Chains A and B, each alone.
Chain A
Amino acid sequence: MSEERIYEPKITSNTILFAKNLRVYFPVRKSFLDILRGRPQLYVKAVDGVSFDISKGEVFALVGESGCGKTTTGKTILRLNKPTEGEIGFLPSKEILEEMRSYGGINNISEYGHISLASLNEHMLRPLRKDIQMIWQDPFGSLNPRRTIYEILEEPLAIHGVGVSREDRYDIVAKALESVKLTPPDEYMDRYPHMLSGGQRQRVVIARALILNPKFVVADEPVSMLDVSIRAEILQLMMELKNKLGLTYLFITHDLAVARYISNRLAVMYLGQIVEIGDARRVIENPLHPYTRALVEAIPEPEPSRRLAIREIPIKGEVPSPINIPAGCRFHPRCVALDEKPELREYCMKREPPLVEVEPGHYVKCWLYAKK
């Protein structure tokens, strides 16, 4: 066997964003009794050593069940959470870099021009928001019900001083509404969110995220709250906008089937770590990690013949608490592969497996594949 390759984020001039060994821990509140007893501080290890890289123009999906840390990862990239440890590198556009320079020195610029988001000062985040934006999951909760659509879309312009006059801003808002196909824009500007359908609201959320012309967008489950019949429409719109505006998406979803349709590469997360990463279609066609296999097996498909048999899901038990993470491979208590290969016990139960390359570009964090 040739030299084993362990995953390292690829950092080139084409990498728009990378994370290296990212950790986000949230302290658990101690009870009075715990303090008296001098119990040690516990942490929820929401993200625990995550690395990935995203190239310009790519759609990179983070897939996993609730509580796996995918949303925390996305929020941390926007610095809505402070990373506990690790690096996030981002390649800003020239104007933003200039603007940030004018705010004060930025250190840690990589050889390709990546700035370190993890260590960025809070006051530097504002110019950065023009380059990195977020599309939120809930189109009902993320729009202020007391503002009109015009006010909602104008706010980012006002905050960032885009557009010199009111007329200017009006034009920008009108164009943004047109770009998400809410036409004619005049008809929507004076409406309130409750006067729009879920799909229309999500278009407003998208327009708001894109109105400052970002380069990189974190989309957190953008279609999971919508009816199935309009999901495809929103996904299609997002892809059109990506191609037109040259965007890069980090697409967070629990739905592997959606990820298959929209992403180039995907990473499967389990309990705060990436367990498998690779070409989206390849991972789904040929899932290698026992967890990914269970996920793929569990997804229902519109195939009526499947109703006749009970479907075996190759997984045991339930997700353990992220406060008390199993030793070794954190999936081992639920792993069926381990039952079949008891000789691996030594490794799986005691040592964390590395994320190793199994086929070109396809990495898996599992002792079934790693060199012992």
Chain B
Amino acid sequence: MSEPILDVRNLKTYFYTARGMVRAVDDVSFTLNKGESLGIAGESGCGKSTLAYSLIRLVPPPGKITGGQIIFKGKNVLEMSEEEFRREVRWKGISMVFQGAMNALNPVYTVGDQIAEVLMLHQGYSKKEALETVAKMLQMVGIDPKRLKSYPHELSGGMKQRVVIAMALALNPPIVIADEPTTALDVVVQAQIMNLLKRLKKELGLSIILISHDLSLIAEIADKIAIMYGGEIIEYGPSEAIYNRPMHPYTIGLLGSIPRLHGELRDLTWIPGFPPDLANPPPGCRFMPRCPKAFNKCSEKPPLVEVEPGHYVKCWLYAKG
């Protein structure tokens, strides 16, 4: 029986900018079970990275979490004090592989020292103990423990990404968020990193949230998928349902735009127009201006309806009333 480990309810993260309130994450809900992986997909600017930052309470100003609940192990982490959250949840409960983190490693420290720092700060390890643990971590992510003493510039892109993943795993968190973990990596290295994530998921029972614009990449690991558009989740469900029976016109458009390596050569489709300005989103369905199937009902906000068990769609084509 799968038990929920993270339950996000009606999360709202808004940015208070000079142009007005930007609804980067607007009323987003999902559940992540133990050992499960969730893929969050969407175009740039759809709010997927902001959602990730919200989960570890690192939304950069002028952004603020303005509503909703993030329930981790039965507790609403949004009600915790910053200190309590830092001590109990961030990194120990939910850690993150940031986008481009492999290029953010400190060039003047060895990778061993950098990972050890996490253990010394959070667990109070001595340097020696910490380095011993780090050696094990490196081995786990497929790096020769001798590399402890290497500086980031001595490592290849793929190895740096492994180091960053080791850093995220240092405190044994049950949940890791990976934000575009393979951008800037070549396909072969990308496949190796995905293999590593799959292996960690299996061996450690890790729950993974993978954020990417690339639905092909997400298919590599995700058990469940949330498609985001304009700050909202517009379709949500098990992988098989989303890929084989997409319902929302946006999801259908996204899947139709992916060039495939095998199978018949179908014409690619695309979604004309641009994503909405989240400071001033369309009042009804946010996808309506680009939707090939829009009709008059769409000027009202669509509800998220369950079209088959566990498969939800936010679209008037499937809603009653």
Which residues of A come within 8 Å of B, CB atoms?
Answer: 65-66, 197-199, 227-233, 235-236, 254-258, 260-261, 281, 284, 294-307, 310-311, 313, 315, 318-319
Nearest residue (CB) in B for A315 is B188
Known A-B contacts A65-B186, A236-B268; A307 and B261 likewise in contact (beta carbons under 8 Å)? no
By size class, the interface of chain B is 35 or more
Q: Which 3 A/B pairs are nearest by Cβ-Cβ distance?
A: A232-B268, A304-B239, A298-B191
Distance of A294 Cα from B188 Cα, bound (Å)? 7
B231-267 CB mask vs A (1 if < 8 Å, else 0) is 0000000011011100000000111111111100100
Flag if B188 contacts A304 (CB, 8 Å).
no
Q: Is the CB of B259 within 8 A of A261?
A: yes
In the complex, chain A residues whose CB is within 8 Å of the CB of B189: 318
Given contacts A260-B265, A295-B187, contact A300 B239 (CB under 8 A): no
Tell me the minimal C-beta distance from B88 to chain A in angstroms.
31
CB distance from B231 to the nearest CB of A (A): 16
Which B residues are within 8 Å of any A CB, using their own CB?
37, 43-44, 156, 158, 186-192, 194-195, 198-199, 213-217, 219-223, 239-240, 242-244, 253-262, 265, 268-272, 274
Contact of B219 among A295, A296, A306, A310 (CB under 8 A): A306
A66→B220 CA distance, assembly (Å)? 22
Extra pairs beyond A228-B43, A300-B194 (4, CB < 8 Å): A227-B213, A256-B261, A295-B188, A307-B221
**Contact of A318 with B158 in the complex, beta carbons under 8 Å:** yes
Name the residue on B nearest A65 (C-beta). B186
Distance in angstroms between the alpha carbons of A306 and B261 in the assembled complex = 14
Sample of 24 A–B contacts (CB below 8 Å): A65-B187, A66-B186, A198-B44, A227-B43, A229-B270, A231-B257, A231-B270, A232-B270, A254-B187, A255-B187, A256-B261, A257-B261, A258-B259, A261-B259, A296-B261, A298-B188, A298-B191, A300-B190, A300-B219, A301-B262, A302-B216, A307-B198, A307-B222, A318-B156
A300 nearest CB across to chain B (Å): 4
Question: In the complex, what's the smallest C-beta–C-beta distance from B45 to chain A, in angstroms?
Answer: 9
B220 cross-chain contacts in A, Cβ below 8 A = 300, 306-307, 311
Given the known A-B contacts A65-B186, A313-B191, are A301 and B261 also in contact in the complex, defined by CB atoms under 8 Å?
A: yes
- Select B195's contact among A236, A284, A295, A310, beta carbons within 8 Å: A310
CB distance from B121 to the nearest CB of A (A): 32
Find the residue from A197, A256, A303 having the highest chain B CB count within 10 A. Answer: A303
Contact among B158, B190, B199, B243 with A302 in the assembled complex (CB-CB below 8 Å): B243
Nearest CB of chain A from residue B63's CB, rounded to whole Å: 22
B192 adjacent to A304 (CB under 8 Å): no
Distance, CA A66 to CA B43, complexed state (A): 24
User: Are B243 and A303 in contact, CB atoms less than 8 angstroms apart?
Assistant: yes
In angstroms, how far is the closest chain B Cβ from the Cβ of A281? 8
Question: Once the chains bind, are B216 and A300 in contact (CB under 8 Å)?
Answer: yes
Q: A313 contacts B188, CB within 8 Å?
A: yes
Total A-B residue contacts, Cβ distance less than 8 Å: 131
**Least distance between B268 CB and chain A CB atoms (Å):** 4
| Cβ–Cβ < 8 Å partners of A260 in chain B | 259-261, 265
Task: Using A65-B187, A303-B219, A318-B156 as known contacts, say yes or no to A313 and B262 having CB atoms under 8 A apart.
Answer: no
A66-B186, A307-B220 are contacts. A229–B195 as well, Cβ < 8 Å? no
Q: Which chain A positions have C-beta within 8 A of B262?
A: 284, 301
Closest chain A residue, CB of each to CB of B182: A300
Closest to A300 in B: B216
- A261 CA to B267 CA, complexed, in Å: 9
- Chain B residues with CB under 8 A of A230: 257, 270-271
Contact A302 B215 (CB under 8 A): yes
Bound-state Cα–Cα, A217 to B269, Å: 24
* Complex contacts, A295 vs chain B, CB 8 Å: 187-188
A103 to chain B, nearest CB (A): 42
Pick from B221, B254, B261: contact of A228, CB under 8 Å:
B254
Q: Within 8 Å CB of A307, what residues of B?
A: 37, 198, 219-223, 239
**B residues less than 8 Å from A319 (CB atoms):** 156
Distance in angstroms between the alpha carbons of A260 and B221 in the assembled complex: 25
Q: A227-B44, A313-B191 are in contact. Are A302 and B270 (CB under 8 A)?
A: no
CB–CB A304/B243 < 8 A: yes
Write out the residue numbers on chain A whose beta carbons fall within 8 Å of the beta carbon of B158.
318
Give Cα distance in the complex from A332 to B220, angstroms. 29
Write out the residue numbers on chain A whose beta carbons fall within 8 Å of the beta carbon of B190: 298, 300
Q: Give Cα A295–Cα B242 distance, bound, in whole angstroms.
A: 27
List of B residues within 8 angstroms of A255 by Cβ = 187, 259
Complex Cα distance, B158 from A306, in Å, reads 22
When A261-B268, A318-B158 are in contact, do A311 and B191 touch as well, CB less than 8 Å? yes
A261 CA to B255 CA, complexed, in Å: 15
Kindly state the separation between the CA atoms of A230 and B265 in the bound complex, as whole angstroms: 18
Given contacts A302-B219, A303-B243, A310-B199, contact A257 B259 (CB under 8 A): yes
